[in-house]
Amino acid sequence: MDLNVKSDSSPKHYRLFWPRIPELLLLQSERLIAPLRTKMSTIEIPIFGPRDGIEAVRAFGADFSGNIRLELNRADSYGQGGLTPVKWEVEQLLRSLYHAGLGNTSFSVMIRPRGPPQYGTDFLYSDDEFETMKKTLLDFKESQLMSKARGDGFVFGILKRSDSDATRLVVDRERTAELRRLAGPDFKCVFHRAFDLVISTAGNDKEWEEELEWLDTQKMAVLTSGGLGNADDNAGVLLKVLRKTSWTGQELIVGGGVRWENLEKLLSGMGGLAQIYARTAFRAVGMVLHSSFTKTVDGIAVFDSNEAQKFTTTLGMLIRTTAYDN
């Protein structure tokens, strides 16, 4: 053995077998970004009658495949904020989706017996109206048209005046709990934009936070614009809502004038996509965007595929930019 031959066992030779630190960070970043990206790709689309169901789902293409869900309202009820559909509308929606190969698309049924009154406050229902809500919810549940496996559910919101302050609106817990009980554990329930009035009439954040926390005990998601007006104008409040919901795992659905042209303003006002990602990273549910993508044709609200395409392009760009920057 030639003892004069130098050993090749210096650390520099072993260094080749270990990834460099930047490479490790890149691998870890990609591992995190992929699932986080999908969290912001869930879009909920309210449709008014079954007519636009197929177009609404197809408008978002492969990039959002599996992340589109529908909220079904009665045909031509857009001007009233969306009302309870009739049974044949659900049947027609399902039939058309199945024939188009989109049978796995989840949907929620709006439970709302009337639009806002000419005078007075909305979402304060009489005993008869509440009985109608219970009956229609049960009818849909027992129709076997809805599916737990798809993730189908119900959307409703009932308010009452606070016992301590008549100017303040709060969740009608007794009636809401009754509807939640009737829906049962198999179907998701969403407390809709009636919650905007809870926020706007609250004297402080703690008051509406208590209502939000109670809804979480009922395993209910919440759809809100963060108060009166459009979501992008209430982004600061929505950030506060997100802080609460992301802590508990409650689903937050942001809606109310959400369009492609104000999407960046909305998300930036909520801290940006990176912060939204971070807050929802370890929860099963991210934050859902809710937009109707409608235009009026001959006095009738119909789905606007052009608006949907612009929305898709804008959201995709924001997601890619966030992934690249982070």
Question: What are the sequence ranges of the domains in the chain?
Answer: 40-325
- pLDDT tens digits for 195-236? 999 999 999 999 999 999 999 999 999 999 999 999 999 999
Q: Would the pLDDT of 181 be above 70? A: yes
Burial annotation 306-325 (CB, 10 A radius, 16+ → b, else e): ebbebbbebbbebbeebbee
Half-sphere exposure of 57 (CA within 13 A, CB side): 25
pTM: 0.87
pLDDT of residue 38: 55
Non-local (6+) Cβ contacts of 209 within 8 A are: 244
- Which of these CATH numbers, 3.20.20.70, 3.40.1280.10, 2.60.40.1930, 3.20.20.380, describes 40-325? 3.20.20.380
On the 0-12 / 13-18 / 19+ scale of CB atoms within 10 A, 224 is buried
- pLDDT tens digits for 16-44? 333 444 444 444 554 555 555 555 668 99
